[in-house]
Amino acid sequence: MSVLLMSLWGCAVVQGFLADPAKQAAEAETKLKAGDLDGAAAVYDAALQKAPGNLDLVSGAAYVKLLQGNPAAADTLLAAAEAQAGPRLSEIKMRRALVAIETGDLDAVKKQATDAGTPEAKLLVAEVALADGDKATAKGQLEAIQGEAGAVGDTAKAYLGLINDPDTRVAGLSEVQALWALGQRPIAVRSVEDLVVAYAQVRDDGADQLLLWAGRAATVGEPAIATNLLDAIPVAPPGQVWRLQATRAMVACAEGNGADCLGGFEKVSAIAPADGLADARATAALLIAERDGETARKLLEGQSGDAAARAWALLGDLQTAGTVAVDPVFKAQFAPAAGG
């Protein structure tokens, strides 16, 4: 599940639980936090039988369906709740838009977000328009929300800064950024190289953007693009030498070159922040696990977290995956193996 979905939906669901006095809602929340998806789903089913019009329960049930990998069922629940949503209709529409992001249905994202009409929804509409190459529509949506406080307004201003650039290649970077935000990541990476190189020639943060997209290219299995972007960086951004070197090590893993990957991380270990190095090593392990299990295991030594758990799962070691996973929902997938 995407970070966007977890942040815009998950927190809202939990807040809804806390505001709802029903014992079943509290029980479902407890099970969800413990990673017991089947248990939470059962509680929701029983609760909705008694209170089918409770929108907090509907949203929570739909959220669990998504976590269970069933977006169609999640959307069905939300769609059925629209008729009784009243003033909370925009909330239901926004959640349907987020479900559509998970399935990659950008037409549905646009429709549901347009109907929702909230600032967050307008941002989604703008991103879909950018992904479709419709800068005029995107610009109108973004201009309407650029005054919003926080991440929505900041993101709108950043997009507008790209769209309004007279260099069409720089303006084009807005489209690939939107594709990435909407989960169309391989497509974004395959379209970005010339655009971000052009951006780097005229913007002060050009090296940062090259490094950002190089890392993204590595993570989606495009090491050649990642290398080209890294080679275009004349000098590493301040404080980011370690990240540049770690990204080169990740590229080596994406290419299946375990020796260079391990050697690269060894060189950077003395200068990298612990958290950043751990994330990079876990990502590199994910990239090489299916081709070179020995290298992946070496990268994962002493690592914990959900990325490390995914890598251990790729290696077929579900017991270790369950041990190192942090998110309770993710950890629960390996509970039988973790418990022996």
Report the alpha-carbon distance of residue 35 to residue 112 in Å, rounded: 29
Residue 331: pLDDT band with limits 50, 70, 90: confident
Tokens of 263: 């050697």
Asked if residue 20 has pLDDT above 80, the reply is no
Question: Looking at domain 184-303, which of 1.25.40, 3.40.1000, 3.40.50, 1.10.287 is its CATH number?
Answer: 1.25.40
Asked if residue 10 has pLDDT above 80, the reply is no
Q: 270-282: per-residue pLDDT in tens? A: 999 999 999 999 9
Asked if residue 317 has pLDDT above 80, the reply is yes
How big is the chain, counted in residues?
Answer: 340
> If we measure between CA atoms, which residue out of 66, 60, 21, 22 comes closest to residue 44?
60
Residue 19: pLDDT band with limits 50, 70, 90: very low
Q: Is the sign of the CA dihedral 203, 206, 209, 214 positive or negative?
A: positive
Check residue 4 and give its pLDDT.
Answer: 46
Q: 26-72: per-residue pLDDT in tens? A: 788 888 888 888 898 898 888 888 888 889 889 989 999 998 899 99
* pTM summary value: 0.86
Check residue 336 and give its pLDDT.
Answer: 60
| Helices and strands (DSSP H and E) totals, the chain | 23, 0
Check residue 9 and give its pLDDT.
Answer: 52
Asked if residue 21 has pLDDT above 60, the reply is no
Distances (CA, A) of 222 to 108, 153, 173, 178, 185: 29, 32, 18, 19, 11
Check residue 25 and give its pLDDT.
Answer: 74
User: With contact defined as beta carbons under 8 Å apart, do 44 and 32 qualify?
Assistant: no
Q: 94-149: per-residue pLDDT in tens? A: 999 999 999 999 999 999 999 999 999 999 999 999 999 999 999 999 999 999 99
Residue 171: pLDDT band with limits 50, 70, 90: very high
Tokens of 140: 């109108």
Asked if residue 8 has pLDDT above 90, the reply is no
Report the alpha-carbon distance of residue 177 to residue 213 in Å, rounded: 10
Q: Which residues, 6+ apart, have CB-to-CB distance to 21 below 8 Å?
A: none
Q: Span 231-236, mean pLDDT? A: 95
| Per-domain boundaries in the chain | 1-117, 120-183, 184-303
Report the alpha-carbon distance of residue 57 to residue 13 in Å, rounded: 9
Evaluate whether the domain defined by 1-117 bears CATH number 1.10.510.10.
no
> If we measure between CA atoms, which residue out of 82, 112, 10 comes closest to residue 125?
112
